[in-house]
Structure 1
Amino acid sequence: MSSKPVLLAILLMLSFQYCKGQFNGKRNKKELILEVDTIAINTEFNIYDFKNINRIREYFNKSKLEHILKLEKEKDWPKLYYALKDYIKNFAIRNFYVDTYWIWRLAKLTELYGTEEEARSLYKLVLRHHHQGIDIHEIEIYYDSLNTQMTDQFVPLDYYYKLVEHRKAIDTLRPPPGVLLNMGRRINSRKADYGPTLALNDDVLIFTSQRNESEKGLDFTENEDLFFSTRKNGFWDLSQELKAINTQYNEGSACLSRDKKTLYFSRCESPLSMGNCDIFMATMQEDSTWGGIKNLGFNVNSISWDSHPSLSHTEDTLYFASDRIGGFGLSDIYFTYKDGNGGWARAQNLGPVINTRKNDVSPFYHPKHHVLYFSSNGQLYSFGEFDIYKAYKKDNRWSEPVNIGPLVNGPGNEFYFTIDSESRDLYYSRSANRDLTKQDLYSFPLPMGANPNALTRVTGSLTDSLTGKPFTGIVSIIDMDEKVEVAPKYLKADGSFEFDLVNNRNYLLVIQGDEFFRIEEMFYLDGPADFRKVTEPIASRVKFESIEFDIGQSNLKTEMYGDLNKIVNFMYDNLDFFLKISGHTDSFGSADVNLKLSKERAKTIRDYIVIFGGVDQHRVSHEGYGSTQPIVDEITEEDKKLNRRVEFEIYRPAVGVGQGK
């Protein structure tokens, strides 16, 4: 990779900054299409092929454009819609930043005369490619709405982990094990380590490191070199330098063929380089050493920066990143393929769905599935600077890129993502802040958001059974087969939720909040599923029909456990709530005996919640009132039964009260 990404990041910080435009006026229902579409659907594919992308620099047809301007002036919207469709399908790369206005106009017309899917795709093209100076004031407001709604759905990890830690003694919920698990000093160094790649059988890891220094004149400077580690008995050996490849120049960003006999990598500032960095290949020699190193040539490399090679699983296509002139942004992803003579054909741009006006780098093509992962700071829905995205290929078209979620992407930078062949573990590099010299390699079980098979949509909602209004709360889904939890989300404003999951697995759905008792449901996913849940809100005082003691007794009965566990779960889900348990009897018998019995019953329930349930004791109080607080006059046996009760008062204390001080 060399020093180029550091330079790119610096350029990023100095250029192409969003201007936060003001939007005046009201938007109608159709203008809210994008706000509803808060996460890209994996099957939403680009509707245009844009066949001129790699044929010409810019498309221009004077007569057609004059006709479009005439229709615009006459406000003949139906004819303008079809004229724009015919014109825009011919766009080449340059059109995406000089003629973005026309894509925007077509998007708005498509809301009226086309489909919502088509309109969404066009709006997203505009958001990826518009530049400063274009007078489209609504773009930023759309972008902010899209990005905020998507990222704000996810529960912040620090809060989530505190919640799980607090309740893990009794709960089934677990975060994915080893999230943000640094690979340690057997792999990482005190310098930057990044760019991991795996051999097909997942037993060889190759990566880039800046741990070495090279002498330049009287000074020593950090040198980028390739290192490798082999896995034995489930553990990675101490990393070693790939000495046959490394030189006094910078080497990095490698990928290995299936048979482990061909290595593609980047070498920078060498006499054999055509530009800043070029992609080279090496072959395994008969003596098991690397040799035959050669530049891939002018069909692949340019006079600029070319790096980050990744082979398709058929190994007839090579993806890579380049900042060559003529792309969509600061850096784009390109591809080349084997021609009929076994050489590499002229490189082509991957197009306006994958590439943006900013940086799109470090492509990784899954070893078994038609899924491309890459890093970008120009795509929609971002959690930080550079995030990892995935896109699916079908019928030679790319789907809308999907952010793989906060269990991988954070507020810093994430680069160089790779997955093992079985889609169980991921390997990637990240920096906790903008300092790219502090990158380390991380590895942990693959979260659901990054899984290439997470294509089955699960939707649902939760509403108040009394009013029909939506609840607020947190939705969690646990993969019971893999024993990990999907990144939890907040219920949307309308009470709905959605997840993309791997089909044909067992899951547990959990919805929790401070207005209702937790809802849990086990299900086996066999195709798209929808869960429409309704429940009653919790009153400040709760009485369960099951909590009814035998006459003169204070022992718990089996039928009480279900409702008592609802209380326990609620207390674990809502850490700022407290509980008061009140025991009551009917008026039959001695007042002193009744008072004692009511206290014993309240204490028995308190002990279950605190001792067995594990709720902090300072959050639970109990008291018995005997027969002094009847709710009805006792005339019949049914009246006495109503007065023999245990009440649960759930409340938030005033600030500074009940904090166990």
Structure 2
Amino acid sequence: MKKIVTLIIILGAFTSMAQTGNKNADALFDKMWYVEAGKGYENAIKKGDTSRMTLERAGDSYYFNTQMQEANKWYAQLVAEYPNEVSPKYLFRYAQTLEGIQNYPLAKKWMKKFAEQGTNDTRAKHFLQSDVTIDDLLALEPQFTLQNLSINSVYSDFAPMYYMDRLIYATATDSSYFHTRKYGWNNQPFLNLHIGRINPVQTDVTFLEKFSKDINTKYHEACVAFSPDEKTIYFTRNNYEGKLKKDGNGVNHLKLYSATAEEKDGKIKWGDIKELPFNSDNYSVGQPAVSKDGTKLYFVSDMPGTIGETDIFVVDILEDGNYGQPKNLGETINTTGREMFPYVTDRALYFATDGYLGLGGLDVFETIITDGVFQKPINLGAPLNSSMDDFAYIVNEETNKGFVCSNRKSGKGDDDIYSFERTPIVCKQVIKGTVSEELTDERIAGATVVLYDDNGVEKDRAVTKMNGEYIFSTVIGCSTGYFVEAAKQGYKTTNKSVITGSTTGETVVPLGISHELIVKENGLLKIKIGIIYFDLDNSYIRNDATIELNKVVLLMNEYPDMVIKIESHTDSRGRDEYNLQLSDRRAKATRDYIISQGITPERIESAIGYGETQLINGCSNGVPCTAVQHEMNRRSEFIILKM
């Protein structure tokens, strides 16, 4: 992929003030005439110049033109001769060229090496392959059938976009046949926009005519998008106003333009051509995509705020025709590599990137949009993606047919456009998990777990095993919202909302339920039962008190390792010393009853009465309070020391 795909990268990043000593090759390289520069560096190497810079630039001259076999040759020599001096950037490029020649076992090794050394590079976590490996990507079930289009030439043909019932695309084919102006980067003609007729079954496209003389110039035009009513076009062009404009480093950047459709004499003319307000002479902006409701414009740029070489940004299209402030889509999408060619539907964002683990070069990724939030990007696998660059994916999601571009070796020349039909893999998810006591983390057996859909309709139910695990037998869809509810007699029912994973697999949903009798107060776990009533001036355990105390016994039998202490309290009415003695007798009577029901004495650490020394309100001696307020202080507490 050798045209605007690479041009949109920050062009100055490929040049360097450092020189190899090969003046002619350096001059060509600095002008980004990589075809001729590569030949110059090869001649220098043949004459004995195998310096690190010369090997780097020899590899770069081919790498930037996606000639992976040749680039790999010089990068391999670079890492062999300078094993301790090669920067992570060149480890990454070397691994990319290994993928490009389909040497995946060796690519896997060098990607890990890059990930280990490129710790400041956001791509490192993806290329470490701790979660997904190259082998996993190669094993993905195929979803696509592809067909090379008849409009493709030996030059670059790419960047398709739907327009009415036709296809707009960019091509380097020079249709005048009289005077071919070639671009020094790759020795190909400049790009123009063409219109093709899509055959009814959408397996091929035939050339109709050039798109518009109003928009096509003698320099690059490519990568278009249309408003939903197709009356506004957004397109990418060189920074050109009668002549090419360059920045202070002599770089001509790309800009986004818009134009409005005007019908004259039965034909569409494009007028009111104007720059978008966030363009700049100092960075590139291009590759537009418009949301289906026409309110957002996505684009690619290396403007300030870019995370990597190029990022995808979004800007609001306002009702008055103006624009909001461009926003970077953030690290869920963008990496320190290249994110390019966005295409957005109501359900997903599609884009090309070399910043995530892929099969080589740029790969196409799909990002599901859930409630306006982009989910983790997913590689769409082979044969859509290949060892080379694959990009500019567009699709009609109702028919699952669309177009994609690639410079794979089976094509006609450089970048080719392919039609495709997608047979989506049925994405399946199984929900499983564990149920635990929320405060103690102890696994709960025999809990009933119920799965509900978003409408509250029960889909399945399961019962937890002895280890607290559950699994639903019903296989459900991916990226879908559900509720999982856990319940057991004696416990408070709890539920949790969940969105299933975006790829086939399992969604693990741990649930915590609280025992009805266990609460947490002021940092202490306590057994919460009803009030223990005693007769006036008595510590005898009444029949109604045994009902509540039996709950403590049952709970301690349920948790055989539980150790408690008992505290008894009175209100402030009566003499202080009498209340202290009375509460202590009641605490010990309570302890004795629990032991009489089979609980061993060592599981009750202490049973102490505190009288009126620990009031929980202000109803102390001499303070007028209601009977209800006094009653709050008359309490027995069962504090859990161990579960």
**TM-score w.r.t. length of structure 1:** 0.44
Ranked by relative contact order (alpha carbons within 8 Å, sequence separation 6 or more), the top structure is 1
Q: Whose Rg is larger? A: 2
**TM-score w.r.t. length of structure 2:** 0.45
